[in-house]
């Protein structure tokens, strides 16, 4: 899954894709490089971000989706109005980092459209989530949370076979908690749904390499963590640098046989 942020303030590619022609070209390049789907988002969820209105989010993403007609697209949003418009414009998957807790109309919007859904774990909300996140057992708590959200989604009429689960690397977790979560990804995979993981360029990777103030991580560190997540059961990897991920995964799969 290639990630395209149509935002001025995303932590890794903020401002790069604000022009819809540039964003659509970036998405098409990701697909040409081997991404199965591109995830388009108009609101940054980086730590400390404040959020934007539906109108602003639509203003950012609609021209991009119009230019991507026919391409496999996921919409990264927490708002039902944005999801609905994106689904009308051909998006197939709704990637909701609040796991249906952000907007009471999201579940029925996804159900009515027959769309795919990604449920993401997040402790707190982007504005404050990195202030002292705490867990007794991060992998167990994240898995229980997603099991419960999966049940909520199914009760709302979204078929289980259309839902994937994401432990939310970087969403209300310290670097130590993030890596422990990936180490124990087998717990989440045991729920039987495809697991999506997004580690690409995230600050925990930069911190791991000795920069305590890092806000991003390198491509090499992203690829290393992605391959390790794949080996522990991740089925979908969200990345900004698609080609190196595709090549690394081809090699990892060859070793796996």
Query: Using CB under 6 A, which of the segments 44-52, 150-158, 181-189, 217-225 binds ligand HH2?
Result: 44-52
Q: Is 173 annotated in the active site?
A: no
Please pick, among 46, 193, 202, 207, the residue that the annotation labels catalytic.
202
Q: Which is nearer to ligand HH2, 234 or 248 (CB)?
A: 234
What six digits make up the tokens of 147?
């099991």
Of 252, 245, 142, 167, the C-alpha closest to 200 is 245
Among 76, 87, 93, 216, binds ligand HH2 (CB under 6 A): 76
Q: Binding to ligand HH2 (CB under 6 A): which residues in 121-160?
A: none
Q: Is 238 annotated in the active site?
A: yes
Residue 198 CB, shortest distance to ligand HH2, in Å, is 2
Among 52, 87, 118, 165, binds ligand HH2 (CB under 6 A): 118
Rounded Cα gap, residues 133 and 78, in angstroms: 21
Rounded Cα gap, residues 178 and 197, in angstroms: 11
Query: Using CB under 6 A, which of the segments 15-23, 146-154, 165-173, 175-183 binds ligand HH2?
Result: 165-173
Rounded Cα gap, residues 10 and 41, in angstroms: 10
Q: Does 206 sit near ligand HH2 (CB under 6 A)?
A: no
Kindly tell me the sign of the dihedral angle through the C-alpha atoms of 227, 228, 231, 235. negative
Q: Does 169 sit near ligand HH2 (CB under 6 A)?
A: yes
Active site residues: 202, 238
Would you tell me which residues interact with ligand HH2 (CB under 6 A)?
Answer: 3, 5, 7, 10-12, 41, 44-46, 76, 95, 97, 118, 120, 166, 168-169, 196, 198, 238
């Amino acid at each position: 899954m290639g990630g395209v942020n149509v935002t001025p303030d995303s932590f890794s590619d903020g401002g790069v894709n604000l022009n819809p022609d540039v964003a659509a070209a970036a998405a098409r390049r990701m697909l040409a490089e081997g991404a199965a789907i591109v995830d388009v988002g108009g609101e940054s969820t980086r730590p400390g971000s404040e959020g934007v209105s539906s109108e602003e989010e639509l203003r950012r993403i609609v021209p991009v989706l119009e230019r991507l007609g026919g391409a496999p697209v996921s919409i990264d949003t927490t708002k039902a109005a944005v999801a609905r418009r994106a689904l009308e414009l051909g998006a197939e998957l709704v990637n909701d980092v609040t796991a249906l807790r952000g907007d009471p109309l999201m579940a029925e919007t996804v159900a009515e459209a027959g769309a795919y859904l990604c449920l993401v774990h997040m402790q707190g909300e982007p504005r404050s989530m990195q202030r002292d996140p705490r867990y007794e057992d991060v992998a167990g708590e994240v898995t229980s949370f997603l099991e419960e959200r999966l049940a909520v989604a199914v009760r709302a009429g979204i078929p289980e076979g259309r839902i994937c689960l994401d432990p939310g690397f970087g969403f209300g977790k310290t670097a130590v908690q993030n890596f422990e979560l990936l180490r124990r990804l087998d717990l989440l995979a045991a729920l039987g749904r495809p697991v999506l993981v997004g580690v690409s360029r995230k600050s925990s990777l930069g911190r791991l390499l000795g920069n305590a103030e890092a806000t991003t991580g390198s491509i090499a560190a992203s690829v290393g963590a992605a391959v390790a997540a794949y080996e522990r059961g991740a089925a979908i990897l969200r990345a900004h640098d698609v080609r190196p991920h595709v090549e690394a995964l081809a090699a990892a799969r060859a070793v796996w046989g």
